[in-house]
Chain A
Amino acid sequence: MSILANKDTRVVIQGGAAGVNAARRMAEFCYLIKRPLNVEAFVYPPDAGKTNEIPYGSGLIAIPIYRTIAEATKHHPTINTSLVYIGADRAMKGGMEALDDPHIKVVSMITEGVPEKDAKLLGAHARKLGKVFNGPSSIGIISAGACRLGVIGGAFDNLVLSKLYREGSFGVITKSGGLSNEIIWICSQFADGITTAIGIGGDAYPGTDYVSYLEMFENDPQTKAVVIVGEMGGDLEERAAEWYGAKKRRVKLIGVVSGFCQESLPKGMKFGHAGAKEGMKGEGSARSKSDALKKSGAIVPQTFGALGPVIKDTYQELLKSGQVKEIIEPVTLPKLPKTIEEAMKADEVMVAPLIRTTISDDRGDEPCYDGYPASELINKGYEIPHVIGLLWDKRLISKQEAEIIKRIMMLSADHGPCVSGAYATILAACAGIGLSQAVAAGLIMIGPRFGGAVTDAGRWFKYAVDNKMNVDEFLAYMKKNVGPVPGIGHRVKSLRNPDKRVKELVGYVKSLHIKTPCLDFALAVEQVTAAKKDNLILNVDGTMAAVLVDLGFPVDSLNGFFILSRTIGLIGHWVDQKRQDSRLIRLFDYLVNYAAPKRREVPPLK
């Protein structure tokens, strides 16, 4: 048996993230004791109608979220307990709502920093209704082998170490959350463990005090002794002593109190929990509490450290008198499934990776490009073209190569508003579309007719050079198998009106006196084609392509140079339109040749 929380306890959790975390901890405990999850519902208006996914074993359980307690208990009439994880400013309202619901018998409030008056009102309201209000600032309640409310008991390993999977003989009541766990652990090591442990919270006026819970423990035959961990301040320990001393009690009471250090501290200096405040006339001091407990017949160890041996002695006595029997531990206990990360760390699983990368890694404190830390590249004078070299071709290019790439990018960064890419971006910007989508609209235009010929041009020039074709053979091959030569021809430029960008780039590359077989071949092709037709010149795509192939970049990366440089222009156009607050535009009718059929009657639908 246990008190307050048992196998029939069904819970609604009021609150958001902290409540979900508590539900996870509770699910771990339910899994350990092989029982279904005891959380039935959440109440959290911002997420009402959704569900919270709570891991249970290796699966996930969807727990519904409601707007109000009434909705939750209507759909889940077995709910009898509420845990309040709502902020201090709204905690009282939430607590009252739970207390007022006829289904709910126990409300435990985890919220810290609840105004004293609110806590008293909640406590008084619960007493009036004959219900239990536990907290505020409570770490929770746990009944070994039966029910966990809140995060009390700690991590899964600790639940096992503290033998919380099965019942013992000791009840525990503490104000402090951390110490509740400590005492549970001590009870499991020096005795047979706990029945129920309750955190009543460290506030000055907890909703339910030691005495109410001592009464419950007294009436729980499984509980043979109760450990209370007190603090200076208030009179809860004195009241507990008074209760214990009032008549012969079945349970043994073991009590420790903290705050003796106050006696040797500068006057007025106080610390610990909110409730740990000595009264004005010395009442509520650690000594007066400790003396009161001793006088009542409780076992009061000298220090916290002596608590273990005292619990051990008590347990031995209980064994000797036959009130408790030695517990035989279960042979196997469920193990909490590990997450993939944990299992991999322990070398327990092997995972087939989903993707493979060979270019970059940012798992350390900074990204590495092909193994080189970004900051080191910066500090050693490397620039954007080198990063392109590392990420696109996995090699550290030379200063000279970087300069060529830089020039290529500068030459193709933008080509005015009228070309397909820029126009599409401007159109999108005028329609109020955001930056990334508008730039994407421009990028979508890049293809066989606009800017997307670099890769193809590079591919065929390289094919010709690799196969040692002469210009005539190449043109014949292209005519037969491919069509017009990519990289050759321009809409407006011609031999008489040359593309200055091409001139500039070719001039620079030639001035470097490096080997440029592809470029040389492309220029030779131009000689032949331009002689046939004035505008069949080597265009900027073809020039870039030939140069980049000569630099050794893979053919498939070539369009990337145009995409990357033109993105600079597209962003510029979007920002430009935004800056001007441009209005929505549409085509004028006179720019459209309406070649559709004239207006006519719609025939009846057959």
Chain B
Amino acid sequence: MAKVLEGPGMGLMKKWGIHVPHYVVVTSADELSKLGQVNDWMKQTKLVAKAHEALGSRFKLGLVKVGLDLNGAVAATKDMVGRQVGSITISQVIVSEMVPHKEEYYCAVKSTREGAEILVANCGGIEVESNWERVKRLCLDVGQTPSPEQLEKLARDAGFTGSVAKKMADFAGKMFSCFDNEDAQYLEVNPVVTRESDGELIALDAVTLLDGDAKFRHPDWNFQFAAEFGRAYSKNEVEVMAVDSKIKGSVKFIEIPGGDTAMLPAGGGASVYYSDAVVARGGKLANYAEYSGDPPDWAVEVLTEKVCSLPGIKNIIVGGAIANFTDVKKTFGGIINGFRKAKGDGKLKGVKIWVRRGGPREREGLDAMRALKDEGFDIHVFDRNTPLTDIVDKALQK
């Protein structure tokens, strides 16, 4: 799942005929001033300035300013750009037209197992969250397109009447077109408002999650996907992602600050069971990591170096189930090289390493790990006869 920021998200909606306010995404106050000279709407309407980053609760952080004139928006931009919030440095601000409105509505499309679901409510903003029963749904099978009648019934069921019901039906139809054609997994507009000047429904705020796997058929997705954590990716995370994008198989790495148990397990399934075992034992995870699909040894080596560089770690869990086709000896070769490098750099002092694995060439791989003892590593190696997560129990025994 790939999160898309508001600017490109609104761009996609606009492409499918959904009315969105005028907006610009800028990286400096200067840029905004220049745009203000050529865009009349910036001078004629009140403006909203928001930090354009993957941040939650921007309002509380003072990163949303409303009711501004152009000068006010320039000042707000100047104030926001470069601000540090957690690990994120704000580099972009989205400035949009403020749309005067009275009523607020809600519309979303989400992926379901059968296909998709269109959600509509005749209340919006925070009101919809506290009145979730007012949200009405239209379930669609994959490949099915909603008919105008179905959409209008949905709008009427949600309490819309008269011409607004027709408009809401039309709006929901366009949302579905956008969802379906853009390989979205979730689209949400909250609030949808009626523009007082012409009575059109406008999408004031967009949440857009796209299917990153479908990027190959969307050459116009020229935007970056945003981190879903509410924080920016760290340098080490970005480096592992760069390796991951280049190789057969995969390597994954996410840092969790403050933990002391480092994870270096194999497999998207087993890795989570290992994390569970650490948490169940009262341990604190220092990271999430995973390698799978028989990745090249150099990629596993890069991953290992990142894991070894985590600050304050006491144990490293090199776990894994019995592999189907990942070559244990080869991938362990990468891990061993990473360990040696880390040790050469003065890391891994006082760190215990715990290994459990099975699969093609398991004996050779495990023997190579065991041999690290002779090089002064504090390493404990187990084979398939030790249950999967027992090494975590052993590592975290008090």
> Which A residues have a C-beta under 8 Å from some C-beta of B?
21, 25, 88-89, 112-118, 120-121, 123-124, 139-140, 151-155, 158, 161, 174-182, 185-186, 202, 204-205, 209, 229, 231-232, 234-235, 256, 258-261, 263-274, 276-277, 286, 303-305, 307-308
- A260 B280 Cβ-Cβ under 8 A: yes
Q: Of A178, A234, A263, A270, which contacts B321 at CB under 8 A?
A: A178
Would you call B315 an interface residue if the criterion is a C-beta within 8 Å of the partner chain's C-beta atoms? no
Chain B nearest CB from A161 CB (Å) reads 8
Interface residues of B in 195-229 (CB under 8 A from A): 211, 213-214, 216-217, 228-229
List chain A residues, Cβ under 8 A from B279. Answer: 260-261, 263-264
Chain B residues contacting A118 (CB-CB under 8 Å) are: 214
Total number of residue pairs linking A and B with CB closer than 8 Å: 186
Question: Are B322 and A304 in contact (CB-based, < 8 A)?
Answer: no
| B323 close to chain A: CB less than 8 A | yes
CB pair A277–B325 under 8 Å, yes or no, is no
Q: Which residues of B contact A (CB under 8 A)?
A: 1, 56, 111, 113-115, 141-143, 180, 183, 185, 211, 213-214, 216-217, 228-230, 252, 254, 256, 266-273, 275-280, 285, 288, 290, 292-293, 320-326, 358-361, 384, 387-390, 393
Once A185-B384, A271-B288 are accepted as A-B contacts, the answer to whether A231 and B214 lie under 8 Å apart by CB is no
**In the complex with contacts A178-B267, A304-B389, A185-B1 CB distance below 8 A:** no
- Whether the pair A272, B185 counts as a contact (CB closer than 8 A) is no
Give Cα distance in the complex from A226 to B114, angstroms. 25
In the complex the two chains form, what is the Cα distance from A139 to B141 in whole Å?
Answer: 27
Q: Are A181 and B115 in contact (CB under 8 A)?
A: no
With both chains docked as a complex, state the minimum distance between the C-beta of B102 and any C-beta of chain A, in angstroms. Answer: 28
Q: In the complex, A185→B321 CA distance in Å?
A: 10
Q: Are A154 and B322 in contact (CB under 8 A)?
A: yes
Whether the pair A265, B280 counts as a contact (CB closer than 8 A) is no
A-B pairs with beta carbons under 8 Å apart, 18 shown: A112-B293, A113-B213, A116-B183, A117-B183, A120-B113, A121-B143, A155-B361, A177-B324, A178-B320, A179-B269, A181-B358, A202-B268, A256-B273, A258-B275, A267-B230, A271-B288, A273-B268, A304-B387
Question: Given A182-B322, A272-B269, A305-B393: A154 and B388 within 8 A (CB)?
Answer: no
Interchain nearest-CB distance for A286 vs B (Å): 7
Quick check: A258 and B252 within 8 Å, CB to CB? Answer: no
Q: How far is the CA of A267 from the CA of B228 in the complex (A)?
A: 10
A153 to chain B, nearest CB (A): 7
Query: How far is A175 from B143 in the complex, measured between Cα atoms in Å?
Result: 25
The residue that B323 contacts in the complex, of A120, A154, A303, A307, with Cβ under 8 A, is: A154
Determine whether the beta carbon of B322 is less than 8 Å from that of A181: yes
Residues from chain B with Cβ under 8 Å of A205 in the complex:
111, 113
> Looking across the interface, which residue of chain B has its beta carbon closest to that of A116?
B211
Which of these, B266, B272, B359, contacts A276 with CB under 8 Å?
A: B272
Q: Which of A123, A155, A276, A304 has the most CB of B within 10 A?
A: A304
Given contacts A202-B268, A270-B228, contact A261 B275 (CB under 8 A): yes
| Cross-chain contact of A235 among B113, B142, B325, B388 (Cβ < 8 A) | B113
Known: A117-B211, A154-B360, A268-B229. A182 touches B272 (CB 8 A): no
Which residues of the other chain, B, contact A308 by a CB distance below 8 angstroms? 387
Complex contact A177–B276 (CB within 8 A): no
Residues of B within 8 A of A177 (CB): 267, 269, 292, 324
Bound complex: CA A202 to CA B142 (Å) = 20
Contact B388 A304 (CB under 8 A): yes
Complex: chain B residue closest to A257, CB-CB: B276
Contact between chains at B183 and A179 (CB < 8 Å): no
**B359 A155 Cβ-Cβ under 8 A:** yes
Known A116-B213, A268-B229, A271-B272; judge A303-B256 contact (CB<8 A).
no
Q: List the B side residues contacting A258 at CB < 8 Å.
A: 269, 272-273, 275-276
Q: Which of B229, B325, B361 contacts A151 (CB 8 A)?
A: B325
Interchain nearest-CB distance for B181 vs A (Å): 10
Q: Which residue of A lies closest to B255 (CB)?
A: A269
CA distance A277 to B3 in the complex (A): 13
What residues of chain B lie closer than 8 Å to A204, measured between beta carbons? 111
Given contacts A202-B268, A259-B272, contact A266 B360 (CB under 8 A): no
Given A151-B325, A178-B270, A181-B321, 20 more contacts at CB 8 Å? A116-B213, A124-B114, A139-B324, A140-B324, A178-B267, A178-B323, A180-B324, A182-B270, A261-B285, A266-B256, A268-B56, A272-B269, A273-B269, A286-B276, A303-B280, A303-B389, A304-B276, A305-B277, A307-B387, A308-B387
Q: Are B390 and A305 within 8 A (Cβ)? A: yes
Measured in the bound complex, the distance between the Cα atoms of B214 and A45 in whole Å is 24
B211 touches A178 (CB 8 A): no
Q: Do A115 and B211 touch (CB < 8 A)?
A: yes
With CB as the reference atom, state the residue of chain A lying closest to B143.
Answer: A121
Residues of A within 8 A of B266 (CB): 178
- Contact A153:B324 (CB < 8 A) given known A115-B214, A116-B185: yes
Cross-chain contact B256 with A265 (CB below 8 angstroms) = yes
Across the interface, which residues of B come within 8 angstroms of A303, CB to CB?
A: 276-277, 280, 389
Specify the chain B residue showing the minimal Cβ separation from A189.
B385
Residues A182 and B388 in contact in the complex (CB < 8 Å), given A259-B272, A304-B277: yes
Chain B residues, Cβ within 8 Å of A176? 267-270, 321
Contact present for A178 and B141 (CB under 8 Å): no
**With a CB–CB cut-off of 8 A, which chain B residues contact A25?**
325
4 closest Cβ pairs, A-B complex: A176-B269, A178-B267, A182-B321, A115-B214
Contacts A185-B358, A305-B393 known; A124 to B141 CB distance under 8 Å?
yes
Is A174 within 8 A of B269, CB to CB?
yes
Q: Give Cα A582–Cα B261 distance, bound, in whole angstroms.
A: 70
Q: How far is the CB of B338 from chain A (nearest CB, A)?
A: 20
CB–CB B113/A234 < 8 A:
yes
Instruction: Tell me how far the C-beta of B365 lies from the nearest C-beta in chain A, rounded to whole angstroms.
Output: 12
**Chain A proximity of B258: nearest CB distance (Å):** 9
Contact between B321 and A179 (Cβ–Cβ < 8 Å)? yes
Determine if B254 and A271 form an interchain contact, defined as CB atoms under 8 angstroms apart.
yes
A354 to chain B, nearest CB (A): 28
In the bound complex, residues from chain B placing their C-beta under 8 Å from that of A161 are 384
* Contact B214–A181 (Cβ < 8 Å): no
Known: A259-B276, A268-B229, A272-B269. A178 touches B292 (CB 8 A): yes
B213 in contact with A114 (CB, 8 Å) = yes
Which A residues are in CB contact (< 8 Å) with B217?
Answer: 89, 115
In the assembled complex, the CB of B329 is this many whole angstroms from the nearest CB of chain A, namely 11
Q: When the two chains form their complex, are residues B229 and A158 in contact, meaning their CB atoms are under 8 A apart?
A: no
- Bound-state Cα–Cα, A276 to B321, Å: 18
